Structures are given as C-alpha cells and as structure tokens.
Amino acid sequence: MLLLISATLLLLLLPTLLGWLGEEYLISLASRILIYALVAVSLDLMLGFGGMVSLGHAAFFGIGAYVVAIFTHHSFDGSPVLSWPFVLPGLDGALVLWPLAILVSALLAAIIGALSLRTSGMHFIMITLAFAQMLFFFFVSLEAYGGDDGLSLFARNRFPGLDLSDDTHFYYLCLAVLGIFLLIAYRLVSSRFGMVIRGSRDNEKRMQALGFPTFRYKLACFVIAGAAAGLAGALIANHTEYVSPGLMHWTHSGVILVMVLLGGSGTLFGPVLGAATFLILEEVLAIYTEHWMLYLGPALILVALFARHGIYGILTGRERNNV
C-alpha cells in the first residue's frame, strides 16, 4: 500500500521533478510508458486473469489509432470520411472521437473474439495472430491512407479544458486514463465476473459444470480488453501524431506480451512495471549499442525459464496473487 501511494505521488509530481532537473523531454517518454502500460494491463486481463494467450492484441491498439488518424485527417482536409450511404464528416474532438475508437475496437474484438474463442490453447494463439496479421495487411493495402508509409496527423485532437499539444497536459491525461482503467480493472477482477473468468482459466470444464456459460464470459473479457487497447491506440496516435500498419504487426503484439510477462502476468501493476522496464531499457540500451536486441532476447528466455512471476513477483516476493 505504501509502495502504491509513493508510486502515485511520484507519477503525479514527475513533470515538476523533470522540470527541476531540466530534462523536460523525458515527459514524452513517460506518456509513452503510460500508454503502453494501459494496453499491457488490458492484455493481462485476458492473459493473466482469463488464461487467453492472445498474440494479436496490437490489432485493437492499431485500429484505435487508425480511427483517430483517419477522422483527424479528414477533419483537417474538410473532406468527408464517408460520402455513401450517408455523409460522415471528419472529427477532431477527443470527446467524440476517442469513444468512437473504443467502439470500433470493441466491435472488431467481438467478431475476432467470437471466432477465436471457438478454440483454445495453441490454436487460439495462432488464430489471434493470424487475424491481427490480416488487419495489418488490410491497412498496408489501403493506399488512400498512406498504405505501408502510414498517415501523419496534422495536430493532436482537441480536448475541452486541456491543450493536448502541451506535453505536460498530455501526460496528465494519460495518467488519468491509466488510473481510471486500473480502478475499473481492479473492480472487474474482484467482482463475480472476475471470479468466473479466473475460474475458467484454472478449470473451464468445472466452471461449465457449475452452469456458467464460460464462452460468453471470456468473450466479454476479450471485448473489454480490445476496447481498452483501442483507447490506448487513440492515445498513441495523438502522442506520436503518426500511425502506420507497423502498430498492428504481430511482432508489436509480441512486444506487448513481453511487457506483460516481464512485469508479471495475473497482476494489475505487473504490466505497468513491465511496460516501464521495457521502454526504459530500450532507451538506455540503445545509447550503448544498436544491437540491444541481442541481449534482450536471451534475457526474455531467462525470464520464461526462471522468473515465472516477472518483476512484480520478484519485488513483492509473492506468488501470483489474484489482484
């Protein structure tokens, strides 16, 4: 608890601290960490709590980002997104656009989830991977929005009362979004819904014998995770002011999965730690060697073999705790 409070304080004061140190540019990295933490926590809802190993989570992240980028692009152009069967104008107000990004990601997650959850285990991993790759190729072939080269945003979205082009404002918004989602996720996993999800992770047949329609519960979990990833995508599009199909590539899904496992799956703060560790490590190692992946790769193998509960497990010395 003490650790939690001090971490929250540190995050709240971070922009001021960095201002004193004269390292304001690090704010942008901090926002990036918060965004990846959000998508990692959403994956962990499925993976750690629901036992669904998805290797296609970046698809929903990318879809959220593309929804924002496409609407913002048209809003700047003054051209409609759709002119048939009805006219759909461009948008750049975050309060409308971001919920739309969430909605589109959730819908897609419902379709992909309904198909993928017909299977489990190894099949599930490969099928989520394949569907994500399908979307990747779809956006690569979408010449109208840059295809392989991606699409630049002309400016960040408008948000009432905040100036998102100011990195500090943007940082606090990301922090608030992550905080709220962690709270929702906490309530979710400790609720009856969370119990059923965790139950079907450990023994699905028994849960079914008890009368729970586990498919529906797992699908709901899949959709919630996809929706949150879509929100994270909306944030990352605003953060980098650029989107590309690379956001959906399966290796990007792999990176998100690595963050979850590095931090500790089946916990809520583990993925946050994992995202921070991964991104900071990437920055630091890149200073010393351009071949940092040569060291990260074997490190991941060691984590897989010996550190089952990730950094969170090492820090707290606990086995997988359920919240």
Partner 1 sequence: MLLVFEQLLNGLQLGVTLFLLSAGLTLIFGIMQVINLAHGSFYMIGAYVAATVTAYTGSFLLGLAVALPVTALIGMLVEMSMLRRLYHKEHVDQVLATFGLIMFFNELTRIIWGRQPLFMDVPAWLSGSIELIPGIPYPTYRLAVIGVGLLVALFLYLMFAYTRIGMQIRAGASNREMAAALGINIKRLYTLVFGLGTLLAGLAGVMAGPILAVEAGMGESILILTFVVIVIGGIGSVRGAFVGALLVGMVDTLGRAFLPLFFRLVFPAATADGAAASIASMLIYLLMAAILIWRPRGLLPAHS
Q: Which residues would be at the binding site for partner 1 (CB under 8 A)? A: 47, 53, 55, 115, 118-119, 121-123, 125-127, 129-131, 133-134, 137-138, 140-144, 250-251, 254, 257-258, 261, 265, 291, 293-294, 296-301, 303-305, 308
User: Alpha carbon of 216 to those of 42, 48, 111, 208: distances in Å?
Assistant: 18, 18, 13, 11
The distance of closest approach from Cβ of residue 90 to partner 1 in the complex, given in angstroms and rounded to an integer, is 20
Q: Please, which residue, 174 or 259, has the CB nearer to partner 1?
A: 259
Identity of the residue, 118 or 206, whose beta carbon is nearer to partner 1 in the bound complex: 118
Identify which of residues 91 and 257 has a Cβ nearer to partner 1 in the complex. Answer: 257
**Of 241, 78, 59, 74, the residue nearest 139 (C-alpha):** 59
164 token code pair: 């998102």
Main-chain phi, psi angles of 203, to 5 degrees: -160, 90
CB of 250 to partner 1, least distance (A): 6
Smallest distance, partner 1 to C-beta of residue 242, A = 21
Of 303 and 315, the one with the shorter C-beta distance to partner 1 is 303
| Rounded distance between C-alpha atoms, residue 23 and residue 121, angstroms | 45
- What are the contacts of 194-197 at 24+ separation with CB within 8 A? 194/49, 197/49, 197/50, 197/221
- In sequence order, the 6+-apart residues with CB closer than 8 A to the CB of 41 are 178, 181, 182, 185, 228, 268, 271, 272
CB of 125 to partner 1, least distance (A): 6
Minimum Å gap between C-beta 138 and partner 1 is 6
Task: For partner 1, give the closer residue by CB, 127 or 229.
Answer: 127
One-letter amino acid at 241 equals E
